[in-house]
Amino acid sequence: MRGKTSTALAGETVNVPANAPHSFRNAIDDTVRLLCMVAPAGLEEFFAEFGDPVPSRTSPAPVLDEATMKARMQKAQERAAEYRVDTLAPA
């Protein structure tokens, strides 16, 4: 898995093994949605700290300026150890 790039198309599933370094990116100019399930439960609370609730699953994602994104990434790095998460520097 390390060093491997996978492309997931609509309706496909990707499994990321435990403790595997990974990232996600949208490589197209269209809106995409990602459903991320984690096990065991609890890691979703980490993501909830930095995400924005939206009214529905089809609502557009909020547009965030660079300063807001930087502040969220900083907070995520500061809180990561509480969730037993290691963060990697962006490539």
Instruction: Render pLDDT for 32-83 as a digit per residue (tens, 0 to 9).
Output: 888 888 887 888 898 888 888 889 988 988 899 999 999 998 999 999 999 8
- pLDDT (0 to 100) of residue 32: 86
User: Is 81 part of a structural domain of the chain?
Assistant: yes
- pLDDT (0 to 100) of residue 79: 92
Domain count of the fold of the chain: 1
CB 86 within 8 A of CB 80: yes
Which residues, other chains included, contact 46 with Cβ-Cβ below 8 Å and sequence gap of 6+? 76, 79, 80, 83, 85
Q: Which range marks the domain in which residue 42 is found?
A: 1-86
- pLDDT (0 to 100) of residue 2: 65
User: Is 91 part of a structural domain of the chain?
Assistant: no
User: Is 44 part of a structural domain of the chain?
Assistant: yes
The whole-model pTM stands at 0.68
90: confidence class by pLDDT, cuts 50, 70, 90: low
